[in-house]
Structure 1
Amino acid sequence: MRRSAWLLGPAVFAGGLLAYAALAEGPPPAPQANDPVVAKVDGDPIRLSDLNDAANTMPQAQSLPKQTLYPMLLDQLIAGRALVVEAHKAGLDKDPAVQRQMQAAEDRALQSAWLHRAIDSQVTDAAVRARYDQEIAQPSQEEVHARHILVPDEATAKKVIAELNKGGDFAALSKQYSKDPGAAQQGGDLGFFKKDDMVPEFADAAFALKPGQTTQTPVHTQFGWHVIQVIERRPVQPPSFEQARDQLRQKMIQENVQKVVAQAREGVTVEKFNLDGTPMRATDTAEPPPAK
Protein backbone atom coordinates (compact mmCIF):
# COMPACT_ATOMS: atom_id res chain seq x y z
CA MET A 1 0.00 0.00 0.00
CA ARG A 2 2.49 2.60 -1.17
CA ARG A 3 1.39 6.17 -0.33
CA SER A 4 -1.82 4.67 1.03
CA ALA A 5 -4.96 6.74 1.47
CA TRP A 6 -5.16 5.08 4.89
CA LEU A 7 -1.96 6.76 6.02
CA LEU A 8 -1.36 9.83 3.93
CA GLY A 9 -1.43 13.08 5.85
CA PRO A 10 -4.26 15.54 5.10
CA ALA A 11 -3.79 17.54 1.92
CA VAL A 12 -4.37 21.26 2.30
CA PHE A 13 -6.39 22.38 -0.69
CA ALA A 14 -8.75 25.34 -0.39
CA GLY A 15 -10.92 27.16 -2.91
CA GLY A 16 -9.91 29.43 -5.72
CA LEU A 17 -9.94 26.85 -8.52
CA LEU A 18 -12.22 28.91 -10.72
CA ALA A 19 -10.10 31.98 -10.15
CA TYR A 20 -6.97 29.98 -10.85
CA ALA A 21 -8.40 28.74 -14.14
CA ALA A 22 -8.65 32.33 -15.28
CA LEU A 23 -4.87 32.53 -15.19
CA ALA A 24 -4.49 29.89 -17.88
CA GLU A 25 -5.06 32.34 -20.70
CA GLY A 26 -2.13 34.46 -19.56
CA PRO A 27 -1.95 38.15 -18.71
CA PRO A 28 -3.48 40.76 -21.01
CA PRO A 29 -0.98 41.71 -23.73
CA ALA A 30 0.83 44.99 -23.29
CA PRO A 31 -0.25 47.70 -25.74
CA GLN A 32 2.07 48.06 -28.69
CA ALA A 33 3.66 51.40 -29.49
CA ASN A 34 3.35 50.67 -33.21
CA ASP A 35 -0.05 49.12 -33.77
CA PRO A 36 -1.07 49.75 -37.38
CA VAL A 37 -4.56 49.22 -38.73
CA VAL A 38 -4.57 46.15 -41.00
CA ALA A 39 -8.25 46.24 -42.03
CA LYS A 40 -11.54 48.07 -41.41
CA VAL A 41 -15.05 46.62 -41.23
CA ASP A 42 -17.69 49.34 -41.60
CA GLY A 43 -15.04 51.75 -40.36
CA ASP A 44 -14.22 49.69 -37.26
CA PRO A 45 -10.44 49.07 -37.30
CA ILE A 46 -8.71 45.72 -36.96
CA ARG A 47 -5.17 46.28 -35.73
CA LEU A 48 -1.97 44.27 -35.78
CA SER A 49 -2.42 43.64 -32.05
CA ASP A 50 -5.76 41.94 -32.83
CA LEU A 51 -3.93 39.55 -35.15
CA ASN A 52 -1.27 38.90 -32.52
CA ASP A 53 -3.95 38.19 -29.91
CA ALA A 54 -5.68 35.76 -32.25
CA ALA A 55 -2.39 34.01 -33.01
CA ASN A 56 -1.66 33.63 -29.30
CA THR A 57 -4.89 31.68 -28.86
CA MET A 58 -3.75 29.12 -31.46
CA PRO A 59 -0.51 27.55 -30.16
CA GLN A 60 -0.84 24.75 -32.70
CA ALA A 61 -0.40 27.32 -35.48
CA GLN A 62 2.66 29.04 -34.01
CA SER A 63 4.98 27.09 -36.30
CA LEU A 64 3.42 28.65 -39.42
CA PRO A 65 5.18 31.67 -40.93
CA LYS A 66 3.35 34.97 -40.40
CA GLN A 67 2.86 35.48 -44.13
CA THR A 68 0.81 32.24 -44.12
CA LEU A 69 -0.90 32.49 -40.73
CA TYR A 70 -1.86 36.17 -40.58
CA PRO A 71 -3.92 36.34 -43.81
CA MET A 72 -5.95 33.37 -42.52
CA LEU A 73 -6.45 35.03 -39.15
CA LEU A 74 -7.37 38.34 -40.76
CA ASP A 75 -10.10 36.64 -42.80
CA GLN A 76 -11.47 35.10 -39.60
CA LEU A 77 -11.43 38.44 -37.78
CA ILE A 78 -13.16 40.19 -40.68
CA ALA A 79 -15.82 37.48 -40.78
CA GLY A 80 -16.26 37.78 -37.02
CA ARG A 81 -16.65 41.57 -37.16
CA ALA A 82 -19.17 41.20 -39.99
CA LEU A 83 -21.23 38.85 -37.84
CA VAL A 84 -21.09 41.35 -34.98
CA VAL A 85 -22.39 44.07 -37.31
CA GLU A 86 -25.32 41.86 -38.32
CA ALA A 87 -26.02 41.00 -34.68
CA HIS A 88 -26.18 44.70 -33.78
CA LYS A 89 -28.49 45.37 -36.71
CA ALA A 90 -30.78 42.63 -35.44
CA GLY A 91 -30.75 44.16 -31.95
CA LEU A 92 -29.19 41.10 -30.35
CA ASP A 93 -26.97 43.29 -28.20
CA LYS A 94 -30.19 44.28 -26.39
CA ASP A 95 -31.25 40.67 -25.82
CA PRO A 96 -31.12 39.89 -22.06
CA ALA A 97 -29.57 36.45 -22.59
CA VAL A 98 -26.85 37.89 -24.82
CA GLN A 99 -26.22 40.70 -22.36
CA ARG A 100 -25.73 38.14 -19.58
CA GLN A 101 -23.17 36.31 -21.71
CA MET A 102 -21.38 39.57 -22.52
CA GLN A 103 -21.32 40.52 -18.84
CA ALA A 104 -19.94 37.10 -17.91
CA ALA A 105 -17.16 37.43 -20.51
CA GLU A 106 -16.30 40.90 -19.20
CA ASP A 107 -16.25 39.58 -15.62
CA ARG A 108 -13.87 36.76 -16.58
CA ALA A 109 -11.52 39.18 -18.32
CA LEU A 110 -11.49 41.51 -15.31
CA GLN A 111 -10.92 38.63 -12.88
CA SER A 112 -7.98 37.38 -14.92
CA ALA A 113 -6.50 40.86 -15.27
CA TRP A 114 -6.77 41.57 -11.54
CA LEU A 115 -5.29 38.21 -10.56
CA HIS A 116 -2.33 38.76 -12.85
CA ARG A 117 -1.74 42.24 -11.50
CA ALA A 118 -1.84 40.96 -7.93
CA ILE A 119 0.10 37.73 -8.43
CA ASP A 120 2.66 38.09 -11.22
CA SER A 121 4.91 40.33 -9.13
CA GLN A 122 4.85 37.74 -6.32
CA VAL A 123 5.63 34.62 -8.36
CA THR A 124 8.83 35.69 -10.10
CA ASP A 125 11.70 33.43 -11.15
CA ALA A 126 13.67 34.71 -8.16
CA ALA A 127 10.79 33.98 -5.78
CA VAL A 128 10.40 30.44 -7.13
CA ARG A 129 14.14 29.84 -6.73
CA ALA A 130 14.10 31.15 -3.16
CA ARG A 131 11.17 28.88 -2.31
CA TYR A 132 13.04 25.91 -3.82
CA ASP A 133 16.16 26.64 -1.78
CA GLN A 134 14.08 26.97 1.38
CA GLU A 135 11.75 23.99 1.07
CA ILE A 136 13.09 21.45 -1.41
CA ALA A 137 16.89 21.62 -1.59
CA GLN A 138 17.34 19.73 1.67
CA PRO A 139 19.85 16.88 1.31
CA SER A 140 19.26 15.93 4.96
CA GLN A 141 15.85 14.44 4.15
CA GLU A 142 15.44 10.71 4.59
CA GLU A 143 12.91 8.05 3.67
CA VAL A 144 12.23 4.63 5.10
CA HIS A 145 11.06 1.35 3.66
CA ALA A 146 8.58 -0.12 6.13
CA ARG A 147 5.73 -2.54 6.50
CA HIS A 148 2.85 -2.58 8.94
CA ILE A 149 -0.03 -4.58 10.32
CA LEU A 150 -3.23 -2.63 10.98
CA VAL A 151 -5.66 -4.03 13.56
CA PRO A 152 -8.81 -2.58 15.17
CA ASP A 153 -7.76 -2.68 18.84
CA GLU A 154 -4.71 -2.41 21.08
CA ALA A 155 -5.06 -5.92 22.49
CA THR A 156 -4.76 -7.50 19.05
CA ALA A 157 -1.76 -5.30 18.25
CA LYS A 158 -0.01 -6.46 21.43
CA LYS A 159 -0.78 -10.07 20.50
CA VAL A 160 0.82 -9.55 17.07
CA ILE A 161 3.92 -7.99 18.66
CA ALA A 162 4.23 -10.96 21.02
CA GLU A 163 4.02 -13.41 18.11
CA LEU A 164 6.67 -11.47 16.19
CA ASN A 165 8.97 -11.51 19.22
CA LYS A 166 8.61 -15.29 19.28
CA GLY A 167 9.85 -15.49 15.69
CA GLY A 168 6.57 -15.11 13.83
CA ASP A 169 6.70 -14.22 10.14
CA PHE A 170 5.67 -10.60 9.57
CA ALA A 171 4.21 -11.19 6.11
CA ALA A 172 2.16 -14.16 7.28
CA LEU A 173 0.87 -12.28 10.31
CA SER A 174 -0.03 -9.33 8.11
CA LYS A 175 -2.18 -11.53 5.89
CA GLN A 176 -3.78 -13.09 8.97
CA TYR A 177 -4.52 -9.98 11.02
CA SER A 178 -4.20 -6.78 8.98
CA LYS A 179 -7.30 -4.74 8.16
CA ASP A 180 -5.43 -2.83 5.46
CA PRO A 181 -6.37 -4.99 2.45
CA GLY A 182 -3.91 -3.47 0.01
CA ALA A 183 -0.84 -3.84 2.20
CA ALA A 184 -1.91 -7.17 3.70
CA GLN A 185 -1.63 -8.89 0.33
CA GLN A 186 1.91 -7.50 0.03
CA GLY A 187 2.95 -8.74 3.45
CA GLY A 188 2.23 -5.31 4.89
CA ASP A 189 4.84 -3.67 2.65
CA LEU A 190 4.39 0.10 2.20
CA GLY A 191 7.49 0.69 0.12
CA PHE A 192 9.62 3.79 0.68
CA PHE A 193 8.04 6.96 2.04
CA LYS A 194 9.12 10.31 3.48
CA LYS A 195 8.07 11.49 6.91
CA ASP A 196 5.48 13.97 5.66
CA ASP A 197 3.85 11.30 3.48
CA MET A 198 2.22 9.70 6.53
CA VAL A 199 0.07 10.87 9.41
CA PRO A 200 2.27 12.18 12.25
CA GLU A 201 1.77 9.34 14.75
CA PHE A 202 2.69 6.71 12.18
CA ALA A 203 5.59 8.72 10.76
CA ASP A 204 7.12 9.48 14.17
CA ALA A 205 7.08 5.81 15.14
CA ALA A 206 8.48 4.57 11.83
CA PHE A 207 11.30 7.10 11.67
CA ALA A 208 12.33 6.28 15.25
CA LEU A 209 13.17 2.69 14.24
CA LYS A 210 16.41 1.29 12.85
CA PRO A 211 16.37 -1.24 9.99
CA GLY A 212 15.11 -4.57 11.27
CA GLN A 213 13.40 -3.11 14.32
CA THR A 214 9.69 -3.46 15.08
CA THR A 215 7.59 -1.24 17.32
CA GLN A 216 7.25 -2.82 20.75
CA THR A 217 4.30 -0.62 21.63
CA PRO A 218 1.22 -0.45 19.36
CA VAL A 219 0.96 2.80 17.40
CA HIS A 220 -2.47 4.43 17.46
CA THR A 221 -3.78 6.59 14.58
CA GLN A 222 -7.26 7.52 13.39
CA PHE A 223 -7.19 4.36 11.27
CA GLY A 224 -6.61 1.90 14.11
CA TRP A 225 -3.62 0.27 15.80
CA HIS A 226 -0.40 -0.40 13.90
CA VAL A 227 2.57 -2.69 14.31
CA ILE A 228 5.40 -1.22 12.23
CA GLN A 229 8.67 -2.74 11.07
CA VAL A 230 11.37 -0.77 9.25
CA ILE A 231 13.26 -2.66 6.55
CA GLU A 232 15.61 0.01 5.20
CA ARG A 233 16.47 3.72 5.48
CA ARG A 234 18.09 5.90 2.85
CA PRO A 235 18.78 9.59 2.19
CA VAL A 236 16.53 11.36 -0.29
CA GLN A 237 18.13 13.20 -3.17
CA PRO A 238 16.00 16.30 -3.75
CA PRO A 239 14.87 17.03 -7.32
CA SER A 240 16.85 19.61 -9.25
CA PHE A 241 15.48 23.13 -9.57
CA GLU A 242 14.69 22.45 -13.23
CA GLN A 243 12.69 19.36 -12.27
CA ALA A 244 10.77 21.09 -9.47
CA ARG A 245 10.32 24.56 -10.96
CA ASP A 246 7.03 24.20 -12.85
CA GLN A 247 5.20 22.33 -10.10
CA LEU A 248 6.52 24.73 -7.46
CA ARG A 249 5.46 27.74 -9.52
CA GLN A 250 1.93 26.34 -9.86
CA LYS A 251 1.80 25.75 -6.11
CA MET A 252 2.85 29.34 -5.44
CA ILE A 253 0.28 30.67 -7.94
CA GLN A 254 -2.48 28.66 -6.25
CA GLU A 255 -1.46 29.90 -2.81
CA ASN A 256 -1.50 33.49 -4.01
CA VAL A 257 -4.84 33.05 -5.80
CA GLN A 258 -6.40 31.83 -2.56
CA LYS A 259 -4.94 34.81 -0.69
CA VAL A 260 -6.11 37.36 -3.28
CA VAL A 261 -9.60 35.84 -3.44
CA ALA A 262 -9.87 35.85 0.36
CA GLN A 263 -8.80 39.50 0.52
CA ALA A 264 -11.30 40.44 -2.19
CA ARG A 265 -14.14 38.73 -0.33
CA GLU A 266 -13.23 40.56 2.87
CA GLY A 267 -13.54 43.88 1.03
CA VAL A 268 -17.12 43.43 -0.17
CA THR A 269 -20.54 43.15 1.44
CA VAL A 270 -22.22 39.85 0.57
CA GLU A 271 -25.94 39.15 0.88
CA LYS A 272 -27.26 35.68 0.11
CA PHE A 273 -30.83 34.71 -0.74
CA ASN A 274 -32.73 31.48 -1.20
CA LEU A 275 -33.36 30.27 -4.74
CA ASP A 276 -36.86 31.76 -4.58
CA GLY A 277 -35.42 35.18 -3.69
CA THR A 278 -36.47 35.17 -0.06
CA PRO A 279 -33.92 36.17 2.61
CA MET A 280 -31.86 33.39 4.14
CA ARG A 281 -31.91 32.69 7.85
CA ALA A 282 -28.80 33.77 9.73
CA THR A 283 -27.72 30.15 10.18
CA ASP A 284 -27.93 29.55 6.43
CA THR A 285 -25.67 32.48 5.53
CA ALA A 286 -22.78 31.47 7.77
CA GLU A 287 -19.58 30.86 5.84
CA PRO A 288 -18.25 27.28 5.90
CA PRO A 289 -15.13 26.72 8.04
CA PRO A 290 -11.82 27.05 6.19
CA ALA A 291 -10.23 23.87 4.83
CA LYS A 292 -7.68 22.26 7.13
Structure 2
Amino acid sequence: MFARVLRVAAVSLALGGVGFTAQAQTSPAPAAGSPAGEDPVVAKVNGAEIRRSEVTRTIASLPPQVQQMPPQMIFPAVIDQIINGKLVAEAGYKANVQNDPEVAERLKRSEERIVQELYLTREVQKRITAERLQEAYNKFKEENPPQDEVKASHILVESEDVAKSIIADIKKGDDFAKIAGEKSTDKAAAQQGGDLGYFTKDQMVEPFANAAFAMKPGDVSQTPVQTQFGWHVIKVVDRRQSTPPSFEEVQEQLRSQVSEQVIGELVEDLRGKAKVERFQMDGSPMPETPPAGTVTPGSAAPAPAAPATKP
Protein backbone atom coordinates (compact mmCIF):
# COMPACT_ATOMS: atom_id res chain seq x y z
CA MET A 1 0.00 0.00 0.00
CA PHE A 2 2.78 2.41 0.95
CA ALA A 3 4.71 1.73 -2.24
CA ARG A 4 1.59 2.33 -4.36
CA VAL A 5 0.80 5.63 -2.58
CA LEU A 6 4.40 6.75 -2.97
CA ARG A 7 4.48 5.84 -6.66
CA VAL A 8 1.28 7.80 -7.31
CA ALA A 9 2.65 10.77 -5.35
CA ALA A 10 5.96 10.62 -7.21
CA VAL A 11 4.24 10.55 -10.59
CA SER A 12 2.04 13.49 -9.60
CA LEU A 13 5.15 15.40 -8.60
CA ALA A 14 6.81 14.61 -11.89
CA LEU A 15 3.78 15.69 -13.89
CA GLY A 16 2.42 18.46 -11.66
CA GLY A 17 5.42 20.74 -11.95
CA VAL A 18 4.25 24.00 -10.45
CA GLY A 19 3.19 22.83 -7.00
CA PHE A 20 6.45 21.00 -6.51
CA THR A 21 8.53 23.89 -7.82
CA ALA A 22 6.79 26.41 -5.59
CA GLN A 23 7.18 24.21 -2.52
CA ALA A 24 10.79 23.42 -3.29
CA GLN A 25 11.60 27.11 -3.34
CA THR A 26 10.45 27.44 0.25
CA SER A 27 13.18 25.04 1.36
CA PRO A 28 16.36 26.23 -0.38
CA ALA A 29 19.53 24.17 -0.56
CA PRO A 30 22.35 25.15 1.80
CA ALA A 31 24.46 28.09 0.72
CA ALA A 32 27.65 27.46 -1.17
CA GLY A 33 30.53 26.83 1.16
CA SER A 34 28.42 25.33 3.95
CA PRO A 35 29.84 22.20 5.57
CA ALA A 36 29.14 19.07 3.53
CA GLY A 37 27.78 17.35 6.63
CA GLU A 38 24.79 19.70 6.64
CA ASP A 39 23.64 18.43 3.27
CA PRO A 40 25.39 15.14 2.50
CA VAL A 41 25.25 13.26 -0.79
CA VAL A 42 22.78 10.40 -0.37
CA ALA A 43 22.95 8.92 -3.87
CA LYS A 44 24.61 9.31 -7.26
CA VAL A 45 23.12 8.68 -10.70
CA ASN A 46 25.75 8.30 -13.41
CA GLY A 47 27.98 10.56 -11.35
CA ALA A 48 25.31 13.25 -10.67
CA GLU A 49 24.87 13.86 -6.94
CA ILE A 50 21.58 13.71 -5.07
CA ARG A 51 21.78 15.53 -1.75
CA ARG A 52 19.69 15.07 1.35
CA SER A 53 18.02 18.46 0.87
CA GLU A 54 16.47 17.26 -2.40
CA VAL A 55 15.02 14.23 -0.62
CA THR A 56 13.59 16.30 2.24
CA ARG A 57 12.05 18.79 -0.22
CA THR A 58 10.44 15.91 -2.08
CA ILE A 59 9.07 14.41 1.14
CA ALA A 60 7.60 17.80 2.07
CA SER A 61 5.74 17.78 -1.25
CA LEU A 62 4.14 14.37 -0.71
CA PRO A 63 0.63 13.77 0.73
CA PRO A 64 0.35 14.15 4.53
CA GLN A 65 -0.36 10.44 5.05
CA VAL A 66 2.99 9.65 3.43
CA GLN A 67 4.90 12.33 5.35
CA GLN A 68 3.69 10.84 8.63
CA MET A 69 5.31 7.48 7.94
CA PRO A 70 8.52 6.52 9.79
CA PRO A 71 11.61 8.23 8.25
CA GLN A 72 13.48 4.92 8.00
CA MET A 73 10.68 3.64 5.76
CA ILE A 74 10.03 6.69 3.60
CA PHE A 75 13.59 8.01 3.08
CA PRO A 76 14.97 5.04 1.06
CA ALA A 77 11.78 4.80 -0.99
CA VAL A 78 11.88 8.51 -1.88
CA ILE A 79 15.54 8.22 -2.89
CA ASP A 80 14.56 5.40 -5.24
CA GLN A 81 11.83 7.53 -6.79
CA ILE A 82 14.26 10.45 -7.25
CA ILE A 83 16.80 8.11 -8.88
CA ASN A 84 14.09 6.85 -11.24
CA GLY A 85 13.14 10.40 -12.08
CA LYS A 86 16.75 11.36 -12.78
CA LEU A 87 17.17 8.39 -15.10
CA VAL A 88 13.95 9.20 -16.99
CA ALA A 89 14.98 12.86 -17.29
CA GLU A 90 18.45 11.88 -18.50
CA ALA A 91 16.88 9.66 -21.16
CA GLY A 92 14.60 12.52 -22.16
CA TYR A 93 17.53 14.93 -22.54
CA LYS A 94 19.35 12.39 -24.69
CA ALA A 95 16.24 12.22 -26.88
CA ASN A 96 16.30 16.07 -27.11
CA VAL A 97 12.83 16.36 -25.55
CA GLN A 98 14.03 19.62 -23.96
CA ASN A 99 13.93 21.21 -27.41
CA ASP A 100 10.30 20.26 -27.99
CA PRO A 101 8.04 23.35 -28.28
CA GLU A 102 5.72 21.82 -25.68
CA VAL A 103 8.52 22.00 -23.09
CA ALA A 104 8.94 25.72 -23.70
CA GLU A 105 5.18 26.22 -23.51
CA ARG A 106 4.88 24.35 -20.20
CA LEU A 107 7.88 26.17 -18.74
CA LYS A 108 6.32 29.49 -19.70
CA ARG A 109 3.04 28.57 -18.01
CA SER A 110 4.88 27.38 -14.91
CA GLU A 111 6.99 30.53 -14.82
CA GLU A 112 3.88 32.69 -15.16
CA ARG A 113 2.15 30.99 -12.23
CA ILE A 114 5.25 31.24 -10.05
CA VAL A 115 5.62 34.93 -10.92
CA GLN A 116 1.96 35.46 -9.99
CA GLU A 117 2.44 33.74 -6.63
CA LEU A 118 5.63 35.59 -5.74
CA TYR A 119 4.29 38.97 -6.86
CA LEU A 120 1.09 38.59 -4.85
CA THR A 121 3.01 37.30 -1.82
CA ARG A 122 5.37 40.27 -1.86
CA GLU A 123 2.64 42.83 -2.49
CA VAL A 124 0.52 41.41 0.34
CA GLN A 125 3.50 41.53 2.69
CA LYS A 126 4.08 45.18 1.79
CA ARG A 127 0.46 46.22 2.13
CA ILE A 128 -0.48 44.39 5.33
CA THR A 129 0.61 46.98 7.86
CA ALA A 130 0.17 46.95 11.62
CA GLU A 131 -2.33 49.79 11.22
CA ARG A 132 -4.43 47.82 8.74
CA LEU A 133 -4.46 44.75 10.97
CA GLN A 134 -5.51 46.91 13.92
CA GLU A 135 -8.33 48.40 11.85
CA ALA A 136 -9.47 44.87 10.97
CA TYR A 137 -9.36 43.92 14.66
CA ASN A 138 -11.43 46.96 15.64
CA LYS A 139 -14.01 46.06 12.99
CA PHE A 140 -14.02 42.45 14.23
CA LYS A 141 -14.83 43.65 17.76
CA GLU A 142 -17.61 45.91 16.45
CA GLU A 143 -19.16 43.01 14.56
CA ASN A 144 -18.78 40.64 17.52
CA PRO A 145 -19.91 42.62 20.58
CA PRO A 146 -19.88 41.04 24.06
CA GLN A 147 -22.79 38.68 24.73
CA ASP A 148 -24.38 37.33 27.87
CA GLU A 149 -23.04 33.91 28.79
CA VAL A 150 -24.27 31.30 31.24
CA LYS A 151 -22.19 28.59 32.87
CA ALA A 152 -24.42 25.63 33.55
CA SER A 153 -24.50 21.91 34.25
CA HIS A 154 -27.21 19.49 33.26
CA ILE A 155 -28.46 15.97 33.78
CA LEU A 156 -30.04 14.43 30.69
CA VAL A 157 -32.45 11.52 31.01
CA GLU A 158 -34.97 9.78 28.77
CA SER A 159 -38.22 10.41 30.66
CA GLU A 160 -39.95 13.23 32.49
CA ASP A 161 -40.66 11.03 35.51
CA VAL A 162 -36.96 10.21 35.98
CA ALA A 163 -36.10 13.90 35.67
CA LYS A 164 -38.74 14.82 38.30
CA SER A 165 -37.35 12.16 40.64
CA ILE A 166 -33.84 13.62 40.23
CA ILE A 167 -35.10 17.15 41.00
CA ALA A 168 -36.73 15.79 44.18
CA ASP A 169 -33.47 14.10 45.22
CA ILE A 170 -31.49 17.32 44.67
CA LYS A 171 -34.00 19.25 46.80
CA LYS A 172 -33.35 16.72 49.57
CA GLY A 173 -29.66 17.53 49.40
CA ASP A 174 -28.24 14.95 46.96
CA ASP A 175 -25.18 16.11 45.03
CA PHE A 176 -25.96 17.35 41.50
CA ALA A 177 -22.56 16.39 40.06
CA LYS A 178 -22.70 12.91 41.57
CA ILE A 179 -26.15 12.25 40.09
CA ALA A 180 -25.00 13.59 36.71
CA GLY A 181 -22.06 11.21 36.71
CA GLU A 182 -24.27 8.26 37.53
CA LYS A 183 -27.47 8.89 35.57
CA SER A 184 -26.97 11.43 32.77
CA THR A 185 -27.13 10.02 29.24
CA ASP A 186 -24.87 12.87 28.07
CA LYS A 187 -21.74 10.87 28.83
CA ALA A 188 -19.28 13.61 27.83
CA ALA A 189 -20.78 16.12 30.25
CA ALA A 190 -21.42 13.41 32.86
CA GLN A 191 -17.66 12.86 33.21
CA GLN A 192 -17.44 16.51 34.30
CA GLY A 193 -20.37 16.31 36.72
CA GLY A 194 -22.71 17.58 34.01
CA ASP A 195 -20.64 20.73 33.38
CA LEU A 196 -21.31 22.35 29.98
CA GLY A 197 -19.03 25.34 30.52
CA TYR A 198 -19.97 28.84 29.40
CA PHE A 199 -22.26 29.31 26.42
CA THR A 200 -24.28 32.03 24.71
CA LYS A 201 -28.01 31.74 24.17
CA ASP A 202 -27.69 30.96 20.46
CA GLN A 203 -25.36 28.02 21.13
CA MET A 204 -28.05 25.86 22.72
CA VAL A 205 -31.39 24.56 21.49
CA GLU A 206 -34.16 27.04 22.25
CA PRO A 207 -36.03 25.34 25.15
CA PHE A 208 -32.77 24.66 26.99
CA ALA A 209 -31.38 28.15 26.35
CA ASN A 210 -34.60 29.90 27.41
CA ALA A 211 -34.71 27.96 30.67
CA ALA A 212 -31.03 28.43 31.50
CA PHE A 213 -31.01 32.17 30.78
CA ALA A 214 -34.11 32.68 32.92
CA MET A 215 -32.31 31.25 35.98
CA LYS A 216 -29.90 32.83 38.47
CA PRO A 217 -26.55 31.40 39.61
CA GLY A 218 -27.22 28.59 42.07
CA ASP A 219 -30.69 27.83 40.71
CA VAL A 220 -31.69 24.27 39.76
CA SER A 221 -34.61 23.51 37.45
CA GLN A 222 -37.92 23.35 39.31
CA THR A 223 -39.43 21.37 36.44
CA PRO A 224 -37.75 19.25 33.74
CA VAL A 225 -36.90 20.91 30.42
CA GLN A 226 -37.71 18.91 27.29
CA THR A 227 -35.70 19.11 24.07
CA GLN A 228 -35.25 16.75 21.14
CA PHE A 229 -32.44 15.10 23.13
CA GLY A 230 -34.57 14.17 26.12
CA TRP A 231 -35.39 15.68 29.52
CA HIS A 232 -32.94 18.02 31.25
CA VAL A 233 -32.36 19.05 34.83
CA ILE A 234 -30.35 22.28 34.68
CA LYS A 235 -28.16 23.95 37.28
CA VAL A 236 -26.89 27.47 36.56
CA VAL A 237 -23.46 28.08 38.08
CA ASP A 238 -22.48 31.55 36.84
CA ARG A 239 -23.39 34.39 34.48
CA ARG A 240 -21.08 36.83 32.74
CA GLN A 241 -20.49 38.84 29.60
CA SER A 242 -18.20 37.32 27.03
CA THR A 243 -14.91 39.06 26.31
CA PRO A 244 -13.63 39.40 22.74
CA PRO A 245 -10.54 37.38 21.85
CA SER A 246 -7.28 39.29 22.07
CA PHE A 247 -5.56 40.62 18.96
CA GLU A 248 -2.92 37.90 19.29
CA GLU A 249 -5.60 35.17 19.37
CA VAL A 250 -7.17 36.26 16.06
CA GLN A 251 -4.08 37.72 14.39
CA GLU A 252 -3.69 34.91 11.86
CA GLN A 253 -7.39 35.00 11.02
CA LEU A 254 -7.17 38.77 10.51
CA ARG A 255 -4.03 38.44 8.39
CA SER A 256 -5.77 35.92 6.12
CA GLN A 257 -8.84 38.14 5.84
CA VAL A 258 -6.81 41.28 5.05
CA SER A 259 -4.70 39.31 2.54
CA GLU A 260 -7.84 38.46 0.57
CA GLN A 261 -8.88 42.11 0.65
CA VAL A 262 -5.46 43.27 -0.52
CA ILE A 263 -5.42 40.79 -3.41
CA GLY A 264 -8.92 41.86 -4.44
CA GLU A 265 -7.92 45.53 -4.36
CA LEU A 266 -4.74 44.82 -6.29
CA VAL A 267 -6.50 42.87 -9.05
CA GLU A 268 -9.25 45.49 -9.30
CA ASP A 269 -6.64 48.23 -9.62
CA LEU A 270 -4.78 46.32 -12.34
CA ARG A 271 -7.99 45.69 -14.30
CA GLY A 272 -8.92 49.36 -14.01
CA LYS A 273 -5.66 50.39 -15.67
CA ALA A 274 -5.69 47.70 -18.35
CA LYS A 275 -7.41 47.46 -21.71
CA VAL A 276 -9.31 44.18 -21.47
CA GLU A 277 -11.05 42.74 -24.52
CA ARG A 278 -13.21 39.64 -24.24
CA PHE A 279 -14.52 37.40 -27.01
CA GLN A 280 -16.92 34.49 -27.28
CA MET A 281 -15.72 30.89 -27.23
CA ASP A 282 -15.47 30.79 -31.03
CA GLY A 283 -13.40 33.97 -31.09
CA SER A 284 -16.20 36.16 -32.42
CA PRO A 285 -16.88 39.57 -30.87
CA MET A 286 -18.77 39.63 -27.61
CA PRO A 287 -22.25 41.17 -28.13
CA GLU A 288 -22.68 44.55 -26.56
CA THR A 289 -24.91 44.74 -23.52
CA PRO A 290 -27.97 46.82 -24.45
CA PRO A 291 -28.74 49.85 -22.27
CA ALA A 292 -31.19 49.32 -19.44
CA GLY A 293 -34.79 49.38 -20.65
CA THR A 294 -33.91 48.64 -24.29
CA VAL A 295 -36.18 46.13 -26.00
CA THR A 296 -34.20 43.68 -28.14
CA PRO A 297 -35.76 41.53 -30.89
CA GLY A 298 -37.56 38.54 -29.46
CA SER A 299 -37.66 39.95 -25.95
CA ALA A 300 -40.73 41.09 -24.09
CA ALA A 301 -41.35 44.78 -23.65
CA PRO A 302 -40.85 46.04 -20.13
CA ALA A 303 -44.00 45.96 -18.04
CA PRO A 304 -45.64 49.36 -17.39
CA ALA A 305 -45.13 50.85 -13.98
CA ALA A 306 -47.91 50.23 -11.50
CA PRO A 307 -50.10 53.27 -10.79
CA ALA A 308 -49.46 55.08 -7.59
CA THR A 309 -51.90 54.34 -4.76
CA LYS A 310 -53.04 56.62 -1.97
CA PRO A 311 -51.77 55.80 1.54
Identify whether the pair has TM-score above 0.5, normalized to the shorter chain: no
Q: TM-score normalized by structure 1? A: 0.44
TM-score in terms of structure 2 length: 0.42
- State the structure with more CA Rg: 2
Question: Higher relative CO (CA 8 A, sep ≥ 6), structure 1 or 2?
Answer: 1
